[in-house]
Structure 1
Amino acid sequence: MNVRRRLIPTAALAGAVALAATALTACSGAAGAAGSKDGKLGVMASFYPMQFLAEQIGKDHVKVDTLTKPGVEPHDLEITPKQTAQLGEADVVLYLKTLQPAVDKAVAQSGVKNIVDAATLTKLEVHGTSGHDHAAEEGAADGHDHSHGEAGEDPHVWLDPVKYAEIAKGVGAALEKSDPDHAADYKKNTDELVAKLGALDTEFKDGLKNTASKTFITTHSAFGYLAERYGLDQEGISGVDPESEPSPARMKDLQAVAKQDNVSTVFFETLASDKTAKTLAADTGLKTDVLDPLEGITDKSQGADYFEVMRANLKNLQKALGNK
C-alpha cells in the first residue's frame, strides 16, 4: 500500500489537493452547502422556540432540524449519538444555554463554527418566587440541579414577545453572516417577524390591563417574563423545572394565595404531568386550564405555531383573571 501511494502521479496528487481545498472551502463557506444535501443552510435548533425563529427567518433558504422532537419535555432531553453526529454537521447551531444541560454539553463538543446562544441576545433575569426557591431545595434533596443560568436566571425568555423579538434580531443577523448571499431575505423576514411580535405584545398589553385579579397559579414557573411584562403575579407550584415535586408547605401556601388573591384557576401544561395542578384545584375548589410554556408543539397544543398558542394563552389568562 505504501509503494502504491508513492507512485501516484504528481499531477493527480496536485488535482486531489486542489479538490480537497475546494471541498473544504465549500464546507466552511457562506452558503453552507455541506450542511444539507439540497444546498440550503443547515440549521440545528435545540428546541421549538429556536426552531420557529430559524424557520420564520430562514424560510426557503434553510433546512431546519431540531434536537427536541415534538412531545418531548425539553428540560429532560438526553442527546443520542446520532443527534450528536447531526449536530456536528450543522452549518449553524441555535440554542438557549442553561435550559438543556445535555444540549449545552453536546454543543460545546460539536466543533461547529457558527453557534448562536439565544441567552446572549437578550437580558436574562431572576424571577424569584416560592416556586423557584422550592426548585432549588428539591434539587439539593434529589441530587439534581434544577437551577438555570447565573444565580438562578430564568431561561423562558420566548414567552415575552418583546424579548423574543430581541432574540429574533440576533438570529437574523447570525443567518445573514452565515449566508451573505441571502442576507437581504433574512433581513426582510426578520423585520416581518419582529413586527408580528410587536403586534402580539400590544394584544397582550391591551388584553391584560383590566382584569379583576393579577395573580395566576401554574404548575411550571415558566411565565416570569410574561408576568413581569404585563403586570401580573406568577405563583408556580414547582420551579423552572416542571418535574420537581412541590412540598406540602408549598401547596398550603398556594391555597392561602388562591383565597387571598381571588384566584379562580390552576394552570397546567401539555408536556408535563397535570397531577399537582389537579390536586391543588381539588383541594381549593378551583378550575383548571392550560397555560402552555411553548416548549414544543404537539397535536394536543392549542394552536399550530408560536403565535396561535400564545393567543390561546392570552384568552385563557383573560378568562382566569376576569377580564373586564
Structure 2
Amino acid sequence: MKRLGRMAAIGFCALWAGARPAAAERLDVFVSIPPQAYLVERIGREHVEVALMVQAGQDPHTFEPSPRQMMALADARLYLKIGMPFETRLLEKIEGAYARLSVVDMAAGVQKRMMEPHHHQEGQHGEGADEDDDEEERAEPDPHVWLSPPLLEVMARNTARALAEADPANVAEYEENLEELIEDIERTHARVQEVLAPCRGRAFYTFHPAFGYFGDAYGLRQVAVEAEGKSPTPRQLTELIGRARREGVNIIFVQPQFDRRAAQSVADGIGGAVVPMDPLARDVLANLETMAAQVEAALR
C-alpha cells in the first residue's frame, strides 16, 4: 500500500507539473555593440535575451560577423542597429532572408555630427587645400551617439518602443523600466556636468574621433590624431604636435581596440603620455563618469 501511495503521489506531481504553463519565451534581440546591450538589458530585463555582435576588445570599424552569428540571427526577433559601418553590409546580406527579424534604428531621431575628416588648421590654404575640401564633403556620420546622455535618452526610448511592439504583453514593465533608466541617465548627466564644468571650452586629444558627442554634451573640443580611420601624414602629425604643445596638452586618449603607435608619436612629441579610454564599455552610465574623471584629470 505504501508503495502504491508513493506511486500515486509521483503521478500526481507529474500531472501537476505538466499542467503548469511553460516559462514565458524570451525575446531574442541582437545588437551591434556593448553599450546597446546595456540599454536593452536595463529595459527588457528578464523578458529579453540579448546577443552581441562586436565582443569586448573587438574593433567595430573592421568587424565582420561570424557564420555562427549569421545563423543565430535567423532565430532573432529584433536587430537594433546604431549606425556602425559593418551594419550596412550585414543588413544587405540578411534583407529578405530572415522572415522573423525586424530591424530597428536605435538612433532614430538623433541629429548626427560628422566625423572630423582631416587635421589641417583653420585658414590653411595652398597646395592640398582642394583635396582637403573634397575630404570634408565625403565625411561620414559619427556613429558614437551613446556617449551623450541626452542622445542616450533618445536611444532608450527607441529601444523601449521596439521591445513593446515586439512583445506587447510586457509593455507596462518596459515603460516602468524605461522611466527608471531615464532617471539614472539624467543623474549621471548632472554628475558629469559638475565634474567637467571647470573644463568648458578646453580641448582634449584622442587617437580615434570617437568622443565628439561627449565633447559636445559638456562644452569640450575633441582633437583627433586619426581622421576617419586613417593615420595622419607626417605633415599632419607635425602640425598636431605643434598644436598640442601650444595648448599645453600632455595626455592622448586611445581606445583599447586600436593600435596606439600614432598616438604614441604625438605623446612622445609633446613629452606626454597615452592613456586608454574605452567608448565601448558595456555599462555606459558608469563609463561616462569614468571618462569624465579621466578628461578632468588630463585638463587639470
**Other structure's SS at 1:120 match:** coil
Distance 1:78 1:175, change over 3 A: same
Pairwise CA distance, 1:107: 4.7
Q: Please give the TM-score of this superposition, normalised by the length of structure 2.
A: 0.80
Count of aligned residue pairs for this structure pair: 266
CA distance in 2, matches of 1:158, 1:132: 28
Pairwise CA distance, 1:318: 0.4
Give 1:177's aligned residue: 165
Distance 1:104 1:131, change over 3 A: farther
CA distance in 1, matches of 2:97, 2:295: 41
Alignment check: 8 A CA contact 1:222 1:240 kept: no
Q: Deviations over 1:1-26 (max 9, x none)?
A: xxxxxxxxxxxxxxxxxxxxxxxxxx
Give 2:90's aligned residue: 103
Alignment check: 8 A CA contact 2:33 2:52 kept: yes
Give 2:215's aligned residue: 227
Pairwise CA distance, 1:38: 6.5
Pairwise CA distance, 1:213: 6.8
* Amino-acid identity (%): 26
Pairwise CA distance, 1:307: 2.2
Distance 1:132 1:60, change over 3 A: farther
CA distance in 2, matches of 1:116, 1:318: 36
Pick one of 279, 282, 296 that aligns with 1:318: 296
CA distance in 1, matches of 2:63, 2:92: 12
CA distance in 2, matches of 1:107, 1:198: 36
Give 2:77's aligned residue: 91
Q: Deviations over 1:135-187 (max 9, x none)?
A: xx9xx9xxxxx99xx95211110011110111110110110111011101111
Q: Deviations over 1:259-291 (max 9, x none)?
A: 221212111121112222222111210122222
> Match of 2:294, as an amino acid?
N
Matched, 1:48 2:34: yes
Q: Deviations over 1:202-230 (max 9, x none)?
A: 12222111138711110010111111111
Distance 1:128 1:73, change over 3 A: closer
Pairwise CA distance, 1:41: 0.7
Matches within 5 A, 1:138-157: 152-157=140-145
Q: Out of 69-78 and 95-104, give the one that drifted further.
A: 95-104
Provide structure 1 residue ranges, at least 5 long, that are not aligned to the other structure.
Answer: 1-32, 141-145, 298-304
Distance 1:73 1:274, change over 3 A: same
Provide structure 2 residue ranges, at least 5 long, that are not aligned to the other structure.
Answer: 1-21, 122-127
**Other structure's SS at 1:234 match:** strand
Aligned Cα RMSD in Å? 2.8
**Other structure's SS at 1:74 match:** coil
Q: Please give the TM-score of this superposition, normalised by the length of structure 1.
A: 0.75
Matched, 1:215 2:193: no
**Other structure's SS at 2:253 match:** strand
Pairwise CA distance, 1:99: 3.1
> Match of 1:103, as an amino acid?
L
CA distance in 1, matches of 2:76, 2:179: 25
Give 1:264's aligned residue: 250
CA distance in 2, matches of 1:238, 1:107: 32
